[in-house]
Amino acid sequence: MRDFFHNYDPVFFVSHIDGDCLNNKEGRLDGDALYITAKVKAADNAVITINGKEAVFNEEDHTYSAEIPLYNYRNTLCAIDTKNGYRAEIVIFRLKNAIDKFYFTVDDCVVFLYELTKYPEKYPSLFDHHFLAPFKKAHELYGAHVHLNLYYEFNDESAADFKEHKEYFNLTMMTDRYRKEWEENADWLTLSYHAHANYPDMPNKHLSGEFIADSMRKVHKEIIRFAGPKSLIPATTAHWGNGYIDPLRAFREGGYLIQFGSFRQIDNDEAYLSYYGRDGLPAYLRGAGLDAYNNKSDAAEGSQGRDVWRDNKEDIYYCHTDMVLNNNKGIPTEKIESWMDTYMALRPDSGIFGLMIHEEYYYSDYTNYIPDCGERVLKAIKHIYDKGYRSCPIEDIILEF
């Protein structure tokens, strides 16, 4: 197991940790600098400096702290025990654009592509399809950016979840008659690889990195063919928001710098909807309070959690999803706004609010059909917009260009 906190070292950071991505609420702004309080653990008789500044010892929590300015996107913090030379070094990131932003992603997307291809006479425009229409409206009214994570194929096992017969479909069969429309809307409607198919569950714990890489290449080729290269972006949610390191490396080698997830863990056991199994990452990202599925967090009470964290070793950013809109039993439509308000109050330093939904719930013949998916989407986006949040491409918030 990787020790993300390095808490067996003689000197180690406890605030912050390597890879932390901070917004401008998480410190004190003064001119161009964001001042943060950096804390380390060391022997009680240590003499600690952090970036050359003498740190103050706190007898209550036995930490050493110093206020450090962050000027750049990438910042190195170095703590040294000057008595013996023990040192700790981390790299953290300042996201200057990560304040009052929201993003919207959709997982498990493939059925609408099948229908656009099979019934072109019903859909003169992409946005005549009932799945895409609410997103277009959300963009026009509230400037929403929407990202769709695609399957390569819809097979017999997937079709068994629907009451009406659906034929086999894969992305090589997708019509290119809408390419111009995809290209015209690529500034707000984007695509990426999600998984090969809906089954098996949790594929990134069972399938090889080689299989995933091959499937990913197929999806990328077809996205570029039917939607154009500008529609493909370096962000996705690996199916189930779950996976071990080899498949995640396959995603990274395929160009995915950003992975979304809700980072759920059950009884501190094997991570359920999170990456890296039993490692410390999931709880650290999620923080205390409700999670995207309306479950109580397993993280320590008072843990703020992170909107974004970068695994500096693997060069992957993990972005926290706050709300899953097809959770209609845990969060009924009429309670969406109050749930969002409660959740935002629990995370006052959060700068990014992540919303998502799954495509299959839009279809009346799906076994778990939700009739008001479009209404839920518009209600949630309007509420976050009315709170002062604005949408933009997630890569513009997180990455440095």
For 346-395, how does the pLDDT look when each residue is reduced to its tens digit (9 = 90+)? Answer: 888 899 999 999 999 999 999 999 999 999 999 999 999 999 999 999 99
Give the pLDDT confidence score for residue 212 in this predicted structure.
97
Task: Report, as an integer, the average pLDDT of 109-118.
Answer: 98
> What local confidence, expressed as pLDDT, does residue 29 receive?
97
Looking at residue 1, its pLDDT comes to 63
What average pLDDT does the segment 300-309 reach? 69
pLDDT of residue 262: 85
- pLDDT of 264 reads 73
Quote the percentage of the chain above a pLDDT of 90: 83
Q: In the predicted model, is pLDDT for residue 298 greater than 90? A: no
User: What is the per-residue pLDDT across 121-166, written as a single tens digit (0 to 9) for each?
Assistant: 999 999 999 999 999 999 999 999 999 999 999 999 999 999 999 9
pLDDT above 50 for 302: no
Q: Provide the mean pLDDT of the chain.
A: 93
**Which pTM value belongs to this model?**
0.95
Query: What is the reported pLDDT for 282?
Result: 55
In the prediction, which pLDDT does 300 show?
A: 44
Q: Which domains does the chain have, with CATH numbers?
A: 12-94 (2.60.40.10), 101-398 (3.20.20.370)
Q: For 108-124, what is the mean pLDDT?
A: 98
| SS3 per residue for the chain | CCCCCCCCCCCEEEECCCCEEECCCCCEEECCEEEEEEEEECCCCCCEEECCEECEEECCCCEEEEEEEECCCEEEEEEEECCCCCEEEEEEEECCCCCCEEEEEEEEECHHHHHHHHCHHHCCCHHHCCCCHHHHHHHHHHCCCEEEEEECEECHHHHCCECCCCCCEEHHHCCCCCHHHHHHCCCCEEEEEEECCCCCCCHHHCCCHHHHHHHHHHHHHHHHHHHCHHHECCEECCHHHCECHHHHHHHHHCCCCEEEECCEECCCCCEEECECCCCCHHHHHHCCCECCCCCECCCCCCCCCCCEEEECCCCEEEEECCEECCCCCCCCHHHHHHHHHHHHHHCCCCCEEEEEEEHHHHCCCECCCCCCHHHHHHHHHHHHHHCCCEECCHHHHHCCC
Percent of the chain with pLDDT over 70: 93
User: Looking at the predicted structure, is the pLDDT value of residue 280 above 80?
Assistant: no
